[in-house]
């Protein structure tokens, strides 16, 4: 999980707090991503982090003193919440010394990942789904192997803001990818299926990232490495089931908070009543 970004769109709040620790109703943004990964079968989470973001790792550590205090005071509901966060998975961190792109961030986890098949999740892409998106991708990988990436349709006049795929549909919502293009001109885009921050990779992707090197902006573009890897392995794109909110933007973060609150039995009614009073 890449969490090394500066969160500049949320300044000045991100001067003192990592954006990934902002709460969507009652949990930090990063916890939703870790919960998704854990529900998809991952028991080890590697944060690709940066100096000053130690609070993220601390959030997932076991706090025995706090748990003991809550237990002694009979606050069982709060104790359950705290225990849940501390025992979701084994969470560790590696440092990304300088921001050289998504491919570079993924490369920092090479030693921690080893030879395992692994997932990548961007906490900013906040997705509410009945079946976790990483699990949707894992199932396709189990059947077809290679690389699997999540995609969603976007308005055709906005495809130049995303990485998009070209491919043929081989199952319901599953495309065999023949080409990946990063932010193509609107009139040259091969489709309107944009790449979302969820991937499943074999460990060999690390070699392809190194082999491909830097691209646009002097950064390691993961789409470039994926395109190169098509020579050696299949790549499939999954139009995921769920609703994505761009929590890298202020509006998207607000929308995600409202969406989560509307799913909460205690908050849904009062929230709807309050929203109805707004002009």
Domains and CATH numbers, the chain: 8-276 (3.90.550.10)
**For residue 214, what is the DSSP state?**
-
Q: What is the DSSP string of 232-244?
A: TS-EEEEE-SSEE
| 72-95 core/surface letters (b: 16 or more CB in 10 A; e: else) | eeeeeeebeebbebbebeebebbe
Query: Mean pLDDT lowest for which of 23-32, 78-87, 139-148, 219-228?
Result: 78-87
Going by pLDDT thresholds of 50, 70 and 90, the confidence category of residue 105 is: very high
Look over the chain and give the mean of its residue pLDDT values, rounded to a whole number.
91
pLDDT at 74 over 80: yes
Record the pTM. Answer: 0.90
What pLDDT digit, counting tens, does each position of 4-34 carry?
Answer: 887 888 889 888 888 999 999 989 999 999 9
pLDDT at 38 over 80: yes
- Taking phi first (over 0 means left), then psi (-120 to 50 degrees means alpha), and beta for anything else, what does residue 99 get? beta
- The pLDDT of residue 64 is 87
- Within 13 A of 161's CA, how many CA atoms are on the CB side? 6
| 108-126 core/surface letters (b: 16 or more CB in 10 A; e: else) | bbbebbeeebbbbbbbbbb
Going by pLDDT thresholds of 50, 70 and 90, the confidence category of residue 160 is: confident
């Amino acid at each position: 999980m890449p969490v090394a970004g500066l969160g500049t769109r949320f300044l000045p709040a991100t001067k003192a707090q990592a954006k990934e620790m902002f709460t969507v109703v009652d949990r930090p943004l990063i916890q939703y991503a870790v919960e998704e990964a854990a529900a998809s079968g991952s028991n080890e989470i590697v944060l690709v982090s940066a100096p000053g973001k130690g609070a993220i790792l601390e959030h997932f550590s076991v706090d025995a003193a706090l748990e003991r205090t809550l237990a002694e005071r009979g606050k069982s509901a709060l104790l359950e919440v705290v225990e849940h966060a501390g025992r979701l998975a084994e969470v560790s961190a590696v440092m990304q010394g300088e921001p050289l792109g998504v491919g570079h961030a993924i490369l920092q986890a090479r030693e921690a990942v080893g030879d395992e098949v692994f997932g990548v999740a961007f906490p900013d892409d906040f997705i509410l789904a009945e079946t976790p998106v990483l699990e949707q991708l894992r199932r396709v990988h189990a059947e077809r192997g290679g690389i699997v990436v999540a995609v969603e349709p976007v308005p055709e006049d906005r495809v130049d803001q995303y990485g998009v795929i070209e491919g043929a549909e081989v199952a319901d919502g599953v495309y065999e990818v023949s080409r990946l293009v990063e932010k193509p001109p609107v009139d040259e885009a091969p489709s309107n299926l944009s790449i979302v921050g969820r991937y499943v990779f074999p460990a060999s992707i690390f070699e392809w990232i190194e082999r491909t090197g830097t691209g646009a902006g002097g950064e390691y573009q993961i789409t470039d490495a994926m395109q190169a890897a098509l020579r050696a392995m299949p790549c499939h794109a999954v139009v995921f089931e769920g609703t994505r909110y761009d929590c890298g933007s202020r509006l998207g973060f607000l929308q995600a908070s409202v969406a989560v609150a509307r799913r909460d039995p205690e908050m849904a009614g009062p929230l709807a009543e309050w929203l109805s009073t707004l002009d």
